[in-house]
């Protein structure tokens, strides 16, 4: 991770197909595009790779989350349960629909704690949204039981975990809908892009129409298409989709590289007594994009992060102090700072997050360090990195 590390001739060839046709838009211009339909090609490839009935590609992972929820009927005042550890896009997408983000604790998986989720469910809850952060998943069986018991939607944010699996199913395909990001720093990239996958034909039809101004896409004359409902513009371009076509074909190779590099680092760190590792739920397989581990205390985690950086080990993230990925720095959400109107229900229903007790999340995230696994490392670089990390972390005073 990320896929741009290995850009090459295959990506260039796909992009050149689009440039040579002169058609950069995914819809219309049938006669001059010379048979090239990159967005459609990427969707069919995703359906096959993710073992799902339908895939629809959009302009970003944030767009994918928004479109997925809208397609399933999430609307004003509906509550969406989400983790305290995620990217800000999670609550941005929820708020974009007038829905209410309900944060709950994460556990040692660094994802939604099912016990905390159960306590947060109310009569207004519509969705449980696990976010498979840093390449690994939540306890999806437990969350699915809760969804079935309370008639809720399970929408997987798999934006950071493409290629992982749970009980033999690709991540993203386990819930009612799944979402992916193909931005510039993801395991596979379109530069900018995302996707919604589902086995529900109605959700797919809604997603396809909602993301393109409500067009029904019936017939061959785009100007004559009907509009069953209001929509917005979350379209991907053919140029972005073309990069994705090439990258998706290389996903399994990328995963093999990540797994090798991850395994070398993990074996070295397993020899450091004070380190423990993130729990991967039984039946789960990571996509190996990050190696996440715990130090005994928050103070030691901070010292370890500083020591690794000083030793020249880049790409090790201490999320606890991160502006974008952890609840502690989300004042703009807590204060509902917005340039536009937010529904009254959002103001009325949003908890006072300044008073919320997320000490359980702090216990795990405060001790966690997540190290990015790069695709471009040589084997000698990986071994050197492993030795350096083990030495640095083993020398941290308790």
Whether a cis peptide bond, with omega within 30° of 0, leads into 2 is yes
Contacts 24+ apart (CB under 8 A), 321-326: 324/87, 324/88, 325/85, 325/86, 325/87, 325/88, 325/133, 326/84, 326/85, 326/365
For the chain, what is the largest distance between any 2 Cα atoms, rounded to a whole number of angstroms?
A: 70
Work out the end-to-end distance of the chain between its first and last CA atoms, rounded to an integer number of angstroms: 32
Tell me which residue of 95, 158, 47 sits closest to 349, measured CA to CA.
95
**Which pairing describes strands 169-170 and 165-166: parallel, antiparallel, or unpaired?**
antiparallel
* Residue 177 in tokens: 């809908």
Is 186 noted as a catalytic residue in this protein? yes
Check: CB of residue 188 under 8 Å from CB of residue 240.
no
Report the DSSP beta bridge partners of residue 183.
191
Question: How far, CA to CA in Å, does 217 sit from each of 52, 226, 384?
Answer: 22, 8, 54
Check: CB of residue 265 under 8 Å from CB of residue 291.
yes
Helices (H), the chain: 9-21, 38-49, 61-71, 89-96, 114-120, 140-150, 201-210, 238-249, 251-269, 298-310, 331-334, 344-349, 359-365, 379-394
**350: Cα separation from own chain's centroid:** 23
How many CA atoms does the CB half-sphere of 129 hold within 13 Å? 34
Annotated catalytic residue within 186, 249, 267, 345: 186
What is the set of active-site residues? 186
């Amino acid at each position: 991770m990320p896929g741009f590390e290995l850009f090459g001739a295959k990506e260039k060839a796909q992009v050149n197909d689009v440039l040579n046709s002169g058609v950069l838009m995914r819809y219309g211009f049938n006669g001059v595009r010379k048979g090239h339909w990159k967005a459609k090609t990427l969707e069919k490839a995703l359906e096959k790779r993710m073992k799902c009935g339908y895939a629809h590609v959009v302009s970003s992972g944030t767009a994918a989350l928004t479109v997925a929820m809208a397609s399933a009927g999430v609307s004003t005042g509906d509550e969406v349960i989400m983790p305290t550890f995620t990217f800000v896009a999670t609550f941005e997408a929820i708020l974009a629909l007038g829905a209410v983000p309900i944060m709950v604790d994460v556990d040692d998986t660094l994802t939604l704690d099912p016990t905390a989720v159960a306590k947060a469910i109310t009569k207004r809850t519509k969705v449980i949204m696990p976010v498979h952060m840093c390449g690994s998943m939540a306890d999806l069986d437990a969350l699915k039981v809760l969804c079935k018991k309370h008639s809720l939607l399970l929408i997987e944010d798999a934006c950071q975990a493409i290629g992982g699996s749970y009980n033999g199913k690709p991540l993203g395909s386990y819930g009612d809908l799944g979402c992916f990001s193909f931005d510039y720093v993801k395991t596979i990239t379109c530069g900018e892009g995302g996707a919604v996958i589902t086995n529900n034909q109605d959700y797919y039809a809604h997603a396809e129409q909602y993301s393109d101004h409500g067009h029904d896409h019936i017939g061959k004359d785009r100007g004559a298409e009907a509009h069953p409902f209001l929509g917005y513009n979350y379209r991907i371009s053919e140029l972005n989709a073309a990069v994705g076509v090439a990258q998706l074909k290389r996903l399994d190779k990328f995963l093999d590289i990540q797994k090798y590099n991850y395994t070398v680092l993990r074996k070295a760190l397993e020899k450091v007594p004070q380190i423990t590792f993130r729990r991967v739920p039984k039946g789960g397989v990571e996509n190996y994009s990050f190696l996440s581990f715990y130090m005994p205390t928050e103070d030691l985690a901070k010292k370890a992060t500083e020591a690794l950086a000083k030793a020249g080990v880049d790409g090790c993230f201490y999320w606890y102090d991160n502006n974008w990925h952890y609840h502690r720095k989300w004042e703009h959400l807590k204060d509902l700072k917005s340039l536009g109107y937010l529904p009254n229900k959002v103001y009325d229903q949003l908890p006072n997050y300044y008073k919320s007790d997320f000490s359980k999340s702090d216990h795990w995230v405060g001790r966690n360090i997540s190290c990015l696994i790069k695709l471009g490392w040589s084997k000698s670089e990986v071994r050197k990195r492993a030795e350096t990390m083990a030495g640095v972390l083993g020398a941290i005073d308790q």
